[in-house]
Amino acid sequence: MRKRILQWLFWLSISVAAVLVIYKVYLNFFENDFGAEHAIQVESIESLLRDRSQFRFAVIGNITNSVGIFERKIIPRLNAQDYDFVVSAGNAVSSGGEDKYRAVYRTLSRLQMPYLLTFGPLEESRIGGFRFYDHFGPYHYSFTAGNSRWIFLDSTGTTDFGWQMRWLDEELRNSQDQNIFVFSANPLYPVDESGLFRIGGDYLFDSSVRPGITQMLEMAQVDAVFSTILPVFDLQEHNETDYVVTGGAGGFVLNNDRSRHHYVSVRVDGNQITIQERQLDIGQHPFWRSLESLWFFIHSLFYVGYLNFILLVSLFVAAAIWLHRQIFEDRDYYPDFDIDPDVLADTPLRVSMFTNNYLPFIGGVPISIDRLHQGLQAAGHQVQIVAPRYRNSPASESGVLRLPSLLPFGHQKEFRLANIFLPRLFRQVRQFKPDVIHVHHPFWLGRAGLVIGRILGAPVVYTYHTRLEHYAHYVPLPTPLFRNLISHTLVKRFANLCDAVIVPTSSAEEYLRIIGVKSPIFVQPTGIEYQRFSEHDNSAAARLKKELNLSDEKVLISISRLSREKNIDFMLEGLAQLKSRCDQSFRLLLIGDGHDRQRLSARIESLGLKQHVTLIGSVPPDQIASYCQLGDLFVFASRSETQGMVVLEAMAAGMPVVVVRSSGIDDIVQQGVNGFKTGPSLTAWTEKVELLLGNSEQRHKMAQEAQSFAASYDTGAFSQSVSRIYRYVVVARERRHSRAGD
């Protein structure tokens, strides 16, 4: 059933795209263009009224491209009542765009009589002035027909008001006509706004010239002045001149006694002029008005060159392509079991790794890459690492291609943005002739690795190390935008361009599948140096204990970069609660550095934890095991980890752990066996820490379980598993090429 519906949608999209193309061809080749339209209409009016002193015309205001009211309701009445011509008092278009002008021309063409437009604010908007001039004529103009003169003013200010007043004065002085009618989109006298949305005086003609114009009109005994803007009918008399406001020809009205759909009928019999409102006993339901607006928006797209038209057709074509893929393309949701990576089991591989940070920068990703590097080399593979150059980088490193940085940033400028535009980057990677390119970030050097892999025809493997959404505070974009959209989209698109993705935990795999990653995903936890962490060096531990002035207190260990995404404030607040409720003395050794060090130091002091928390700072990777061997308990609160390698290392050192539940960590902490994981509750987290500090028997039992669990994550098994993934993508690439050759 679902497939049948998609098939219908596919053919519907194709049909709509075809109809749009045909309709566009029709509009371009069969619908006439128009220009200087007022010259044609004035000539028709002059011909109609020649030698006549009796005639009727209608005045309409605020059409605003209305199809439902003006085109379908008012135009048929005007055609049926034998008016000689129609005048718009302004705001005939909903904006001054080309599409709106062409649409209103199409609508006015349905009138069976001549028509004229007054230049108003909506005609002028969106740089609409030049379109009005091109399609209809000047903004202010006048003509004589029959026994009357019609004068049209530009109330928008597009034409200088001083010039207009001089022109108007000459027109009025030289007029010998029996009747004079003036049109100004903006009213010249205030209107009673009761029952309307109050808009103040903004609807009136410019206040600096309004008194002069009204005085001029009334001295010349102008018969009537017609305006619009407001959605009402209003008739005032000032010094025997009628001032009419009409705004009900299709635009928004309130449908009450003052604001309703209408037009104005003007009958001229010699010098007798009758002005009457013609009410329409109709309204338009908001639903139909919304539907009309939607249709008009779509319809008007055809009048704006080719850009919007191409975009619209492209939208339907894209929908059709997507539907075609969903319906007609066969997809295999299972792995290709014909791919046997073991056929290359005895073949050493050449692997290029691209990373945005690497040793001597201390962090989980650099340490993980270094361990993989060592493990692969021990297995006989050749490895090339492409990484930024740091101030304290070794002068010469075997197998490491260092790139100078374009921009250092972060605390003490520890992050380096490598120069990926150097020609030698591509040249040296090509000379290395990698069988596989392994990228560790979905941007910058990771993206460079992907591009080079495509050029060289080498498969690309991506390791998902980092939950980018937790790093929104580093990005110069609105935080919700990056956290909720950009970060997930970046990971998804990059992962789908790679031949395979490595994730450290099953929860990370689930996340990637949820956001739409289709590439093969391999769950492969990062390896740890289990032996180094599990073997105790008593002399080193004693020396450290003395340096840190540790006595009989219980030692808590935490290893983390000092930055916001690591949730260290949560941990400090928990320890403040622990201090007030626990008799057991304790000391937290917080290992790591970062841009938040100064703020966290002040926070420790404000919470009264100066005697309980020591900021150790950055520690070389080969010394971290010695610190871990001092600890009785490992505590952690970060929710941004994909695995939490430091948690595994703490377990290898024989420490149970208390963590905040999150993806990655949740996979390696067995509740009540090798540690405790809590929700983001200070009370729950603190209670578990207090429990293990106060119960030595349970702590020792869980420590043994933790160490036993960590043994299965040794580096040797890690590098072997990753090399098998490399062989998989190499064989898969060769298989695809052989199929393409067939």
Determine the Cα–Cα distance for residues 570 and 216; give it in Å rounded to an integer.
77
| 406 or 414, greater pLDDT | 406
Rounded to the nearest integer, the mean pLDDT of the chain is 86
Q: Which sequence spans correspond to the domains of the chain?
A: 37-284, 341-523, 534-713
Q: Which CATH architecture has domain 534-713?
A: 3-Layer(aba) Sandwich (3.40)
User: What percentage of residues in the chain have a pLDDT greater than 90?
Assistant: 53
Q: Is the pLDDT of residue 499 over 90?
A: yes
pLDDT digits (tens, 9 = 90+) for 246-268: 998 988 787 777 788 899 999 99
The per-residue pLDDT for 46 is 96
Give pairs for 200-204: CB < 8 Å, separation 24+. Answer: 203/229, 203/230
pTM of the model: 0.52
The per-residue pLDDT for 6 is 61
The per-residue pLDDT for 329 is 60
> Which pLDDT band, with edges at 50, 70 and 90, does 487 fall under?
confident
Q: Is the pLDDT of residue 352 over 70?
A: yes
Determine the Cα–Cα distance for residues 588 and 571; give it in Å rounded to an integer.
10
The per-residue pLDDT for 474 is 60
Please give the average per-residue pLDDT across 706-732, as a whole number.
89
pLDDT digits (tens, 9 = 90+) for 428-468: 999 999 999 999 999 999 999 999 999 999 999 999 987 76
The per-residue pLDDT for 635 is 95
Q: Is the pLDDT of residue 158 over 80?
A: yes
Alpha-carbon radius of gyration of the chain:
40
Distance from chain centroid for Cα 369: 33
Determine the Cα–Cα distance for residues 299 and 311; give it in Å rounded to an integer.
14
Strands (E), 271-357: 272-279, 350-354
The per-residue pLDDT for 306 is 47
Determine the Cα–Cα distance for residues 678 and 666; give it in Å rounded to an integer.
10
Q: Output the CA torsion sign for 330, 333, 338, 343.
A: positive
DSSP secondary structure letter of residue 109: T
Q: Which amino acid is located at 378 in the chain?
A: A
Please give the average per-residue pLDDT across 495-503, as a whole number.
94
> Which pLDDT band, with edges at 50, 70 and 90, does 309 fall under?
low
> Which pLDDT band, with edges at 50, 70 and 90, does 226 fall under?
very high
pLDDT digits (tens, 9 = 90+) for 549-559: 888 899 999 99
pLDDT digits (tens, 9 = 90+) for 95-136: 888 778 888 998 999 999 999 999 999 999 888 899 999 999
87-96, 152-161, 189-198, 418-427, range with the lowest pLDDT: 189-198
Question: Is 534-713 in the same CATH topology as 341-523?
Answer: yes
> Under DSSP, is residue 611 helix (H, G, I), strand (E, B) or coil?
coil
17-31, 619-633, 689-703, range with the lowest pLDDT: 17-31
| 1 or 116, greater pLDDT | 116
Q: Kindly report the length of the chain.
A: 742
Look-up of token digits 């420790």? 604
The per-residue pLDDT for 290 is 59
> Which pLDDT band, with edges at 50, 70 and 90, does 40 fall under?
very high
- Residue 496 CB partners (closer than 8 Å, separation 6+): 516, 517, 518, 519
Q: Burial, 79: exposed, middle or buried (Cβ in 10 Å; 0-12, 13-18, 19+)?
A: middle
Strands (E), 93-206: 115-117, 141-145, 148-152, 179-183
Apex 479 CA angle, 441 and 568, nearest 5: 75
> Which pLDDT band, with edges at 50, 70 and 90, does 303 fall under?
very low
| 119 or 507, greater pLDDT | 119
Q: Is the pLDDT of residue 305 over 50?
A: no
Q: Is the pLDDT of residue 410 over 60?
A: no
Give pairs for 216-222: CB < 8 Å, separation 24+. Answer: 216/165, 216/168, 216/169, 216/172, 217/172, 217/182, 217/188, 217/241, 220/172, 220/173, 220/175, 220/180, 221/180, 222/172, 222/180, 222/181, 222/182
Please give the average per-residue pLDDT across 211-229, as a whole number.
96
Q: Is the pLDDT of residue 677 over 70?
A: yes
Determine the Cα–Cα distance for residues 190 and 181; give it in Å rounded to an integer.
19
> Which pLDDT band, with edges at 50, 70 and 90, does 304 fall under?
very low
> Which pLDDT band, with edges at 50, 70 and 90, does 676 fall under?
very high
DSSP secondary structure letter of residue 67: I
Q: Which backbone phi and psi does 377 adopt, to 5 degrees?
A: -65, -40
Determine the Cα–Cα distance for residues 475 and 484; give it in Å rounded to an integer.
13
Q: Which backbone phi and psi does 55 adopt, to 5 degrees?
A: -165, 170
Q: Burial, 428: exposed, middle or buried (Cβ in 10 Å; 0-12, 13-18, 19+)?
A: middle
164-168, 236-240, 278-282, range with the lowest pLDDT: 278-282
The per-residue pLDDT for 307 is 45
Determine the Cα–Cα distance for residues 237 and 507; give it in Å rounded to an integer.
79
Are the beta carbons of 532 and 371 closer than 8 angstroms? no
pLDDT digits (tens, 9 = 90+) for 51-65: 999 999 999 999 988
Query: Domain 37-284 in CATH: superfamily?
Result: Metallo-dependent phosphatases (3.60.21.10)
pLDDT digits (tens, 9 = 90+) for 647-675: 999 999 999 999 998 877 887 899 999 99
Are the beta carbons of 500 and 476 closer than 8 angstroms? no
> Which pLDDT band, with edges at 50, 70 and 90, does 72 fall under?
confident
Q: Is the pLDDT of residue 520 over 50?
A: yes
Strands (E), 456-547: 460-463, 500-503, 521-523
| 392 or 135, greater pLDDT | 135
Query: Domain 341-523 in CATH: superfamily?
Result: Glycogen Phosphorylase B; (3.40.50.2000)
> Which pLDDT band, with edges at 50, 70 and 90, does 221 fall under?
very high
> Which pLDDT band, with edges at 50, 70 and 90, does 336 fall under?
low
Are the beta carbons of 539 and 673 closer than 8 angstroms? no
Please give the average per-residue pLDDT across 731-739, as a whole number.
79
Determine the Cα–Cα distance for residues 668 and 664; give it in Å rounded to an integer.
7
Structure tokens at 329: 């393309």
379-388, 416-425, 455-464, 633-642, range with the lowest pLDDT: 633-642
Alpha-carbon distances of 270 from 58, 142, 147, 222, rounded to whole Å: 17, 20, 8, 15
Please give the average per-residue pLDDT across 334-361, as a whole number.
83
Tell me whether the omega of the peptide bond preceding residue 360 falls within 30 degrees of 0, making it cis: yes
Alpha-carbon distances of 62 from 122, 170, 573, rounded to whole Å: 9, 30, 64
